[in-house]
Amino acid sequence: MATSPYTELPATGPYDVAIGTSLITMVEPHEGHDEVYNRWYEDDHFFSGAMAMPWMFAGRRFVATRDLQALRYPADSTVASPIDRGKYISLYWITEGRHEDHERWTVATNQRLRADNRIHMERDHVFTAFQRYRGVSYRDDEVPRDIHSLNYPFGGLVVEVIDAADGPGREELLSWLQDQYVPSVLADSDIALCLYFEPMPLPADKMEYAPDVAGADRRLTLLWFTEGDPRDVFEASFAPSGQAVADKGLGKVELVAPFIPTLPGTNRYVDQLR
């Protein structure tokens, strides 16, 4: 009996339960297509275009309703322009050491989905990239570990994108965030943890509708998970971030955007997007 590649491929290589990279994809459905887009993504693409693939071990979708969009800043964001673009965001964790294996599979799968007319084209990618994991800060020892962050029922997510200044660079910015700033925000707050990522260029044979993230060599993405509603802590914990980073002289905040989880299998919040 011939050996199946499905027997051979997982028999070697890394397989620890650890985040190595992520896929972070922030998308704007075209107006008039919100419900159709939502159903396509949840009923088809979340699985066929992501979770069914090897080495992608967790995924979750989040949404920004009108009132959450209104909290976003800065108005001149280079990530979302206008600032309310990107009403949905999906996060996925990929096993450490398996990024290339996953990337080859996902490119081939998406090429097939496009040929089979299973890609919903009435949407724009606002901020989509594979991103390399750079660590985590926890509020305390009792909150769920990073590998559980997309499965635990957190109340919300705040996405923060920061571009490092030309002089100090990304490593100095990351060190300050991890050692000083983020722990000070987490302390005694309703925010459980913050994960750090740096964008990677998309593969050369990527789908043409997904543009590369600008400034990937100096950009950091922070994912803050709130235990309760992110609206309740936004003013105290996240509104000051842009000024704090600017005052330190290490970079510029290009986006701070709160989201809440979608309710899978439903169209909840679709009527609150615009």
Distance CA 50, CA 193 (A): 24
The pTM assigned to this predicted structure is 0.96
Dist CA 197 CA 26 (whole Å): 15
Helices vs strands, H then E, count in the chain? 9, 8
CATH fold of the domain at 16-272: Alpha-Beta Plaits (3.30.70)
Question: Taking the domains of the chain in order of start, what are their residue ranges?
Answer: 16-272
The pLDDT profile of the chain, 274 residues, written as one tens digit per residue, is 678 988 988 899 999 999 999 999 999 999 999 999 999 999 999 999 999 999 999 999 999 999 999 999 999 999 999 999 999 999 999 999 999 999 999 999 999 999 999 999 999 999 999 999 999 999 999 999 999 999 999 999 999 999 999 888 999 999 999 999 999 999 999 999 999 999 998 777 656 666 677 777 899 999 999 999 999 999 999 999 999 999 999 999 999 999 999 999 999 999 999 9
Instruction: State the amino acid at position 261 in one-letter form.
Output: P
| 3-state SS string for 69-131 | HCCCECCCCCCCCCCCCCCEEEEEEEECCCHHHHHHHHHHHHHHHHHCCCCCCCEEEEEEEEE
